[in-house]
Amino acid sequence: MLPRSTGFAALAAAVLVLPGLDRAPLITKYRIDQSLSQEIDATAAGGAKQSISFSTSSFITVTLTDSAGGKAMTVRVDSLRGDSATPIPPAVLDSARGSEFHGFVERSGKPSGLEPTAGASAAAQIQGLLSDFFPWIRTGLKVGDTWSDSTAKVNGVGADSVTVRRVSTYKAAASETRQSRKAVRITEDFTSSVAGTQPTPGGPAKIEGSGSGKGSYYVGTDGRYLGGDWQQQSSLKISGSFAPEPLPITIVQKTKVTTLK
């Protein structure tokens, strides 16, 4: 699915840039808290409305290393836990500890999607939990700037994959203090479309629909991502041989990212 004014004069005139190419790797630890509520209306298939709500907390270490055209990103899962309702088995969450994902941050600050390292089956199952935690840390940023972007991300592989396309509008809204650091708060409003397939006990299922959301995040004067909050709501439909007509699904996702000392 899916997340604040001091020193205004100084920060408004300052330019935020990613660390120079001559610097050591930038290492930051984050905590990602996510919650998801889902309701499926199965009355068309002779069933009832089915609801599930759960939350997860991921603790990760992010390393950004100089590379041609930007920064190579490595995300290591330090630990991962979910509440009793989380559909991912605890054994899978435990086995994901130590898994790594690789990505890339362009010189403009735009991140690419994260991909698990080869053979990391547990990591592939938790890929969706980490796919959107790192936003666009745009270079040359100053208060008042606005820009837009579109992305397409695929979660899963083969018959168990979903593509999420997102169109976002950003604004550098204000200079603020985040965890005792001077920062700029960036707001994001977005719309999304979802399409893909997933296996179910009743046979293959086609999933499609749309969503919208908003949030904000913080960028330090050194270009470091300092966390943020997002919320999004999606209205989807799932269809297959298990139902005479598509079944509506409503999903609400909330994400909060904080830096750890």
pLDDT value at residue 4: 35
- Does the pLDDT at position 71 exceed 50? yes
Mean pLDDT of the chain: 85
> Edge-to-edge strands of the sheet including 115-116?
115-116, 100-106, 70-82, 49-67, 26-41, 247-260, 225-239, 203-220, 181-200, 160-178, 146-157
More confident residue, 9 or 246: 246
Cβ(197)–Cβ(161) below 8 Å: yes
**Taking the mean position of all CA atoms in its chain, how far away is CA 257?**
9
Cβ(105)–Cβ(70) below 8 Å: yes
Mean pLDDT along residues 141-166: 85
pLDDT value at residue 11: 31
CA–CA separation, 78 and 56 (whole Å): 14
pLDDT value at residue 13: 34
Give the start-to-end residue ranges of the domains of the chain.
8-260
- Does the pLDDT at position 19 exceed 90? no
Percent of the chain scored above 90 by pLDDT?
56
CA–CA separation, 17 and 109 (whole Å): 9
Mean pLDDT along residues 55-79: 95
pLDDT value at residue 119: 61
- Whose tokens are 């199952």? That residue is 125
Measured CA to CA in angstroms, residue 225 lies from 153, 183, 239 at distances of 21, 9, 39
Structure tokens at 213: 């959301």
Per residue in 195-243, pLDDT tens?
999 888 778 889 999 999 999 999 998 889 999 999 999 999 999 888 8
Identify the band that residue 3 occupies on the pLDDT scale cut at 50, 70 and 90.
very low
pLDDT value at residue 8: 30
Q: Which 8-state DSSP code applies to residue 75?
A: E
Q: Hey, how many other C-beta atoms are within 10 angstroms of the C-beta on 101? A: 23
Beta-bridged to residue 56, according to DSSP, are: 34, 82
Min mean pLDDT across 91-105, 144-158, 236-250 is at 144-158
Mean pLDDT along residues 3-10: 35
